[in-house]
Amino acid sequence: MSNSKNTILFISNESKLLGATNVLLHIIDYLHATQKYNILVSCPPTEGHFKEILQQKNITTFTPNCLRDYYFHISKPAFLPIRILRRIIDNLKLLFFFYQFLSKNKSTIVYANTSAVRYIALPALLSRTRLLWHVHEYSTKPLKQKFHSLLIKLCSDKIIVHSPFLISKMGISERGQKKVIFFRYFTILERKEYPETEFNRLSYDLIFAGKIGFEKGVLDLLSAVKNVVEIKPDLKVALAGVFVDKDKDLVLSFVEKHRLENHITFCGFVPDLNRAILDSKVVVLPTYRDYMPILVMEALLLEKPVICTDVGDIRSIVTHNKNGIIISPGNVQQLTDAILQILDEEAYQRFVLGARAQKAELLSDANDYEKIEQAIDNLFHKRKA
What are the tens digits of pLDDT across the range 176-215?
Answer: 778 899 888 878 876 655 555 554 557 899 999 989 999 9
What's the confidence (pLDDT) of residue 317?
A: 86
Looking at the 3D structure of the chain, how many domains does it have? 2
pLDDT in tens, 278-308: 999 999 999 998 877 888 988 988 899 999 9
Q: Count CA atoms within 13 Å of residue 101 on its CB side.
A: 24
Contact between residue 58 and residue 19 where contact means Cβ atoms under 8 Å apart: no
Question: Once rounded to an integer, what is the mean pLDDT over residues 162-174?
Answer: 77
- Both 319 and 244 in one domain: the answer is yes
Residue 193 domain-assigned (yes or no) = no
Parent domain of 350: 199-363
Q: How confident is the model at residue 77 (pLDDT cuts 50, 70, 90)?
A: confident
Alpha-carbon separation of residue 358 from 183, 267, 279, 318, 319 (angstroms): 19, 28, 20, 8, 9
Both 103 and 36 in one domain: the answer is: yes
pLDDT at 2 over 60: no
Give CA–CA dist 308/292, Å, rounded.
Answer: 11
Does the pLDDT value for residue 385 go beyond 70?
no
Residues 143 and 204 in one domain: no
Q: In a 10 Å sphere around its CB, with 0-12 CB exposed, 13-18 middle and 19+ buried, how is residue 221 labelled?
A: buried
Gap between the Cα atoms of 111 and 98, Å rounded: 13
The answer to whether residues 173 and 311 belong to one domain is: no
Residue 296 covered by a domain? yes
Query: Do 263 and 287 fall within a single domain?
Result: yes
Residue 194 lies in a domain: no
- How far apart, in Å, are the Cα atoms of 71 and each of 20, 22, 47, 76, 83? 19, 21, 12, 9, 12
156 and 234 assigned to the same domain: no
- Tell me if 190 is assigned to some domain: no
Same-domain status, 56 and 173: yes
Same domain flag for 314 and 380: no
Contacts for 366 with CB less than 8 Å, ≥ 6 apart: none
Q: Cα(208)–Cα(175) distance, rounded to whole angstroms?
A: 40
What's the pLDDT band for 147 if we cut at 50, 70, 90? confident
Q: Residue 100 maps to which CATH number?
A: 3.40.50.2000
Q: Are 230 and 89 within one domain?
A: no
- What confidence tens digit (pLDDT) does each residue in 319-364 have? 999 999 999 999 999 999 999 999 999 999 999 999 998 887 777 6
Q: Which whole number is the average pLDDT over 6-19?
A: 89
Q: What is the pLDDT of residue 383?
A: 67
Whether residue 287 lies inside any domain: the answer is: yes
14 with 103, same domain: the answer is: yes
How far, rounded to the nearest angstrom, does the alpha carbon of residue 336 sit from its chain's CA centroid?
A: 26
In percent, the amount of the chain with pLDDT more than 70 equals 94
- Alpha-carbon torsion angle 134, 112, 47, 39, nearest 10: 110
User: Can you give the three-state secondary structure of the chain, one letter per residue?
Assistant: CCCCCEEEEEECCCCCCCHHHHHHHHHHHHHHHCCCEEEEEECCCCCCHHHHHHHHCCCEEECCHHHHHHHHHHHCCCCHHHHHHHHHHHHHHHHHHHHHHHHHCCCEEEEEEHHHHHHCHHHHHHCCCCEEEECCCCCCCHHHHHHHHHHHHHHCCEEEECCHHHHHHHCCCCCHHHHEEECCHHHHCCCCCCCCCCHHHCCEEEEEECCECHHHCHHHHHHHHHHHCCCCCCCCEEEECCECHHHHHHHHHHHHHCCCCCCEEEEECCCCHHHHHHCEEEEEECCCCCCCCHHHHHHHHCCCCEEEECCCCHHHCCCECCCEEEECCCCHHHHHHHHHHHCCHHHHHHHHHHHHHHHHHHHCCCCCHHHHHHHHHHHHHHHHC
Strands of the sheet containing 204-209, edge to edge, are 264-268, 237-240, 204-209, 280-285, 306-309, 324-327
Asked if the structure places residue 53 within a domain, the reply is yes
pTM above 0.85? no
pLDDT at residue number 255 = 96
Q: Is position 191 within any domain?
A: no
In this structure, the answer to whether residues 69 and 175 fall within a common structural domain is yes
What gap in Å lies between CA 71 and CA 12, rounded to an integer? 13
Question: Are 151 and 274 within one domain?
Answer: no
